[in-house]
């Protein structure tokens, strides 16, 4: 009956009285006699008691103190341990104090706790200590007497019995002469409950036999999960019944993703998928693909869309491209023409695209004699067709193809054009005259060709050095050309052809002449290889002397005239391009100034130059000369100019060279086109080591492109951020000096930049900085340009923001902000302030604060650049001298300086230190609140939470970000210095005030 009651209790309470505890015995849960074994001659009595709530419970008591040699045994029934390695025994008891007892034989205030392991209840121990394992002698901390408060009589003790090896045990209480009551006894063990972690189920695991033991448990993956092949999931159960040291994991299979608590794998919802086993999230289906059911591991393509064989299941579905746009034929002659087109409006969601050209004549494929260069299938948007018959009609189709075209089936979209090759080629130039030449110069003229219709747009000339000196090609609108820099005693062949509205004329018959030797007399009008009729008889010495003197005077005047023209750039170079092989120092000069009918690139889209001296035009390139590579900066949003790597092939046959290509994106406005071409046209006027060099433009075909010299780092702001802390102060000042030199040159050439900032600079591998963007540049006289162009407020002077008034002084202001960007490794000026906040702060006298990387001399230059009155700002020639002086002076390069600065260390808490720093960043109004709430140091401000800032009244998100970003930036600038300092200057200026640092 007793065993039955004990088993019933265990089943009812499930061995889980509390979390992570397996209950084996609890006398408080007994409703009838406990039925424990009492030893022979033992005075234990089982009685009922009541707790404070009035609930009845069973307990044992004994008080055998009137006789000696007490051995009172009390033993529990057999307790099954269910595989536990260690059990805990909790005892609640009371003991009578021995101090006031009289006439007793023995009185003790302790008792013995013993245990006996057994594999079954039949294996009962004897009533002696030899069979038992003594657990402990339990002493009472509290003893009662008749006068004591009953609330202070009860003792609670817990003992543990470890290293158990059998199925169960008996627990015994041995009294040796105490007057006590055993009110409650509880036996339990600790275990780690079944749990799910990292998508694995771990079974219920009993804790180890001692405090330091860890019991290993291997998990099994939940449904729709697979085991990580690198390591199976494991957990360890410690002595407290707590799981610890997780290793390994399970992963959700394709189509399933972990739940938030990683307890199960849930199917991907409709419209999402997961293609691989792993614990990543389900993602939305790629473009043009759908999943119509949950748990999808792949999204299927919508009707009309496909994936190529090389596409992964994660790739977007794509379709065939639409037809090419704006297909047209150009430069049509009797047997060749050029086809050019724009890309399709819809690329079918793929990057790769090629064009296939088909030619038909009289509804039949063109004969093999008709060819296409480079081929009939191209990736470019232009092709040269040759071998055509004169006075014939041709139909050309240009198909747009991608990798899906062969999968989708059907005919690809195409554009078509019908071309007639009527024999309207202009006649060749009949007469070419070598007007005069010397040992290094030549003047050549020709007659205008006879044409039945159309107009002559210009001429292409070719001057070939027959001695292997190279070829010089030019374009001009005049009928006369002058060459200088030719080689003495070299044979040259000249020919010219006309560019008309109907195409190119044949080249003229070649005219050959030989330049004079460098030490011979000058002869005019007749080539050396013709027999001269100007020589006189040698006997006429006076005439010979006079002629020699006259010739010398003419020669001197001619040389002086050429030098003056070269130095002052009196002659414009017109619409020309020069390409040469092995020829040095050859200059082309049109004989006449460019007239009003001349085609000058930029005149159409730069009206502010209309009354100025005509600029040097850009070299017009062929599409085949430019190969576009990887993208450096994409055009996003309203931006239309993409910057790419590229390869440039010169006309003169030299090896291809790397280049930077700017490309105007399709869909541009007239203003955007004007700015794009203005950028290229203005750069073409300049030759300076701190201004990027332009190779030429493609402005007659789409897309519009401009080609520039190769720069290793096309965007200075990105370069500086990538190399933060890696450049010395001297290197940074040298970069600023490069910008100042470039701007000084621009002013001397009569131009304003109007949009100077770090993003518009490029950097070479040896840290030479060049100004690289001139889209907003104007002539220096154009100081007021209403509503034209954009305004970058963070870089703009006050008069530009308020009145659109531009001058050298406004460029000086922008230079100051650009220099601040460089010295701060590309940080954004004014941080996260919006334009309105920047304008308001500038109006109140605020200026960008310096950092500890900024030497005193440079600080003063920046302050001078940001003076409110434009006439008080220094010009660029003075700035350049100041920078040179700063770079030469070691004292100006050091970071240790004095002046209007303060120190804000991590442990600084003074009101003046904190207040000055807050004032320097424009947040002085929060000084008292910060100090009152215990935020008085740099580290404390960095550690502030959003709630902390709102609690003290900093509610603006911009001000919250500005406070912490400024603190972090200041802390970072101190930690990356090579010498210890913590100075930060307050550069806030009142109007009209100059602060000397």
Helices 856-865 and 808-823: angle between axes, nearest 10 degrees: 140
Instruction: Compute the C-alpha angle 438/443/447, nearest 5°.
Output: 150
Taking the CB of residue 624, how many other CB atoms lie within 10 A of it?
13
Please say whether the beta carbons of 760 and 831 come within 8 A: no
- DSSP labels for 782-802? --B-TT-S---GGG--HHHHH
Q: Choosing from 336, 478, 755, 986, which is the catalytic residue? A: 755
Give the dihedral sign, CA 243/246/250/255. positive
Beta partners for 751? 779
Residue 495, number of CB atoms within 10 A of its CB: 19
CA neighbours within 13 Å on the CB side: how many for 770? 23
CA 479 to CA 774: how far, in whole Å?
Answer: 34
CA pair distance 522, 520, nearest whole angstrom:
7
| Element containing residue 383 per DSSP (H, E) | strand 382-386
Beta strands in 234-348 (DSSP E): 234-237, 243-247, 250-252, 256-258, 265-267, 272-273, 283-284, 289-290, 300-301, 325-330, 336-342
> Would you say 239 and 163 are in contact if contact means Cβ atoms under 8 Å apart?
no
Could you give the CA distance from residue 282 to residue 280 in angstroms, rounded to a whole number?
Answer: 7
Active site residue 26: no
User: 35: exposed, middle or buried (C-beta count within 10 Å: 0-12, 13-18, 19+)?
Assistant: middle
Secondary structure letter of residue 968 according to DSSP: H
The verdict on whether omega for the bond into residue 785 sits within 30 degrees of 0, i.e. cis, is no
Alpha-carbon gap, residue 789 to 751, rounded angstroms? 15
Residue pair 882/857 in contact (Cβ under 8 Å)? The answer is yes
Distance of CA 180 to the CA centre of its chain: 78
DSSP class per residue in 282-296:
PEEPPTTEE--STT-
The two structure tokens encoding residue 160: 């543990």
CA–centroid distance for 921 within its chain: 27
Are 774 and 781 in contact, with CB atoms under 8 Å apart?
no
Compute the residue count for the chain. Answer: 997
Chain centroid to CA 590: 49
Q: How far is Cα of residue 571 from the mean position of the Cα atoms in its chain?
A: 47
The string of DSSP letters for 88-142 reads EEEEEEEEB-STT--S-S--BSEEEEEEEEESSTT-PPPSSTTTSEEEEEEE-S-
Own/partner contacts of 650-659, CB < 8 Å, gap of 24 or more, are 650/579, 650/625, 651/473, 651/577, 651/579, 651/625, 652/470, 652/471, 652/473, 652/579, 652/580, 652/581, 653/579, 653/581, 654/581, 656/627, 657/710, 658/710, 659/626, 659/695, 659/707, 659/708, 659/709, 659/710
- Cα pseudo-dihedral 386, 390, 394, 398, rounded to 10: 20
3-state secondary structure of 951: helix
Listed in sequence order, the residues at least 6 apart from 425 whose beta carbon sits closer than 8 Å to its beta carbon are 333, 334, 502, 503, 504, 505, 506
Q: Distance between CA 955 and CA 952 in Å, rounded?
A: 9
Residues classed as catalytic:
755
């Amino acid at each position: 009956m007793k065993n039955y009651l004990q088993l019933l209790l265990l089943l009812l309470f499930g061995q889980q009285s509390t979390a992570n505890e397996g209950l084996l015995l609890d006398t408080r849960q007994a409703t009838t006699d406990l039925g424990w074994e009492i030893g022979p001659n033992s005075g234990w009595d089982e009685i009922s008691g009541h707790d404070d709530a009035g609930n009845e419970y069973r307990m044992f008591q004994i008080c055998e103190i009137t006789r000696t040699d007490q051995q009172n045994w009390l033993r529990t029934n057999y307790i099954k341990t269910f595989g536990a390695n260690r059990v805990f025994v909790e005892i609640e008891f009371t003991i009578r104090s021995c101090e006031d007892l009289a006439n007793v034989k023995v009185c003790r205030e302790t008792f013995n706790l013993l245990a006996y392991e057994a594999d079954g209840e039949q294996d009962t121990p004897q009533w002696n200590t030899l069979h038992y394992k003594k657990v402990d002698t339990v002493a009472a901390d509290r003893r009662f007497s008749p006068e004591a408060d009953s609330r202070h009589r009860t003792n609670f003790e817990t003992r543990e019995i470890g290293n158990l090896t059998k199925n169960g045990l008996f627990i015994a209480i041995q009294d040796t002469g105490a007057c006590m009551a055993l009110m409650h006894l509880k036996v339990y063990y600790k275990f780690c409950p079944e749990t799910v972690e990292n998508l694995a189920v771990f079974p219920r695991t009993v804790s180890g036999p001692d405090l330091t033991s860890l019991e290993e448990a291997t998990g099994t993956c939940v449904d729709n999960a697979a085991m990580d092949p690198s390591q199976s999931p494991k957990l360890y159960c410690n002595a407290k019944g707590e799981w610890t040291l997780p290793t390994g994991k399970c992963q959700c299979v394709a189509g399933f993703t972990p739940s938030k608590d990683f307890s199960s794998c849930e199917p991907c919802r409709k419209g999402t998928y997961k293609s691989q086993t792993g614990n990543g999230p389900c993602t939305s289906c790629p473009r043009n693909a759908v999943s119509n059911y949950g748990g999808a591991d792949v999204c299927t393509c919508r009707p009309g869309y496909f994936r190529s064989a090389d596409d992964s299941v994660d790739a977007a579905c794509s379709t065939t491209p639409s037809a090419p746009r704006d297909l047209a034929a150009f430069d049509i002659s009797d047997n060749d023409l050029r086809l050019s087109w724009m890309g399709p409006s819809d690329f079918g969601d793929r990057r790769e695209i090629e064009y296939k050209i088909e030619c038909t004549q009289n509804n039949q494929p063109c004969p093999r004699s008709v060819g296409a260069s480079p081929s009939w299938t191209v990736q470019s948007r232009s092709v040269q067709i040759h071998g055509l018959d004169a006075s014939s009609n041709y139909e050309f189709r240009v198909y747009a193809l991608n990798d899906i075209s062969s999968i989708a089936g059907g005919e690809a979209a195409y554009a078509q054009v019908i071309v007639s090759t009527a024999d309207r080629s202009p006649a060749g130039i009949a007469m070419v005259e070598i007007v005069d030449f010397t040992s290094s110069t030549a003047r050549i003229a020709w007659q205008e060709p006879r044409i039945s219709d159309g107009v002559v747009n210009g001429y292409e000339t070719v001057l070939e050095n027959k001695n292997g000196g190279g070829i010089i090609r030019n374009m001009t609108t005049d009928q006369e050309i002058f060459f200088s820099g030719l080689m003495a005693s070299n044979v040259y062949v000249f020919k010219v052809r006309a560019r008309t509205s109907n195409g190119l004329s044949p080249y003229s018959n070649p005219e050959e002449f030989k330049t004079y030797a460098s030490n011979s007399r000058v002869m005019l009008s007749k080539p050396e290889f013709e027999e001269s009729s100007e020589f006189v008889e040698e006997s006429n010495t006076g005439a010979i002397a006079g002629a020699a003197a006259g010739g010398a005077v003419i020669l001197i005047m001619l040389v002086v005239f050429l030098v003056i023209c070269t130095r002052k750039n009196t002659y414009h170079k017109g619409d020309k391009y020069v390409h040469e092989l092995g020829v040095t120092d050859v200059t082309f000069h049109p004989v006449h100034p460019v007239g009003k009918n001349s085609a000058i690139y930029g005149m159409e889209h730069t009206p502010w130059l209309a009354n100025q001296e005509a600029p040097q035009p850009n070299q017009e390139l062929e599409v085949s000369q430019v190969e576009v590579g990887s993208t450096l900066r994409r055009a996003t949003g309203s931006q239309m100019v993409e910057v790419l790597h590229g390869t440039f092939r010169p006309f003169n046959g030299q090896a291809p060279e790397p280049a930077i290509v700017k490309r105007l994106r399709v869909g541009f406005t007239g203003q955007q086109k004007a700015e794009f071409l203005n950028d290229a046209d203005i750069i073409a006027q300049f030759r300076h080591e701190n201004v990027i060099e332009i190779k030429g433009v493609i402005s007659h075909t789409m897309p519009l492109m401009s080609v520039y010299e190769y720069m290793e780092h096309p965007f200075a702001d990105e370069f500086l951020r990538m190399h933060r802390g890696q450049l010395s102060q001297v290197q940074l000042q040298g970069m600023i000096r490069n910008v100042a030199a470039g701007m000084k040159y621009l002013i001397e050439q009569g131009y304003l930049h109007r949009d100077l900032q770090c993003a518009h600079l490029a950097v070479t591998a040896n840290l030479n900085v060049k100004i690289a963007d001139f889209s907003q540049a104007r002539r220096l006289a154009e100081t007021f340009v209403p509503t034209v162009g954009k305004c970058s407020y963070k870089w703009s002077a006050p008069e530009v923001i308020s009145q659109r008034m531009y001058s050298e002084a406004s460029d000086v202001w922008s230079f100051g902000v650009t220099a601040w960007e460089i010295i701060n490794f590309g940080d954004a000026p004014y941080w996260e302030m919006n334009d309105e906040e920047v304008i308001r702060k500038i109006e109140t006298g605020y200026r960008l604060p310096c950092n500890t990387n900024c030497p005193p001399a440079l600080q003063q230059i920046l302050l001078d650049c940001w003076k409110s009155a434009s006439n008080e700002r220094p010009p660029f020639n003075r700035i350049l001298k100041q920078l040179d002086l700063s770079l030469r002076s070691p004292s100006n390069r050091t970071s240790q300086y004095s002046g209007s600065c303060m120190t804000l260390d991590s442990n600084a808490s003074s009101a003046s230190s904190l207040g000055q720093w807050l004032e320097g960043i424009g947040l002085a109004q929060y000084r008292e609140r910060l100090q009152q709430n215990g935020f008085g140091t740099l580290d404390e401000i960095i550690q502030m939470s959003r709630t902390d800032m709102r609690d003290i009244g900093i509610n603006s998100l911009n001000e919250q970000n500005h406070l912490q970003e400024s603190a972090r930036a200041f802390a970072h600038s101190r930690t990356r210095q090579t010498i210890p300092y913590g100075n930060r200057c307050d550069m806030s200026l009142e109007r009209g005030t100059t602060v000397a640092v």
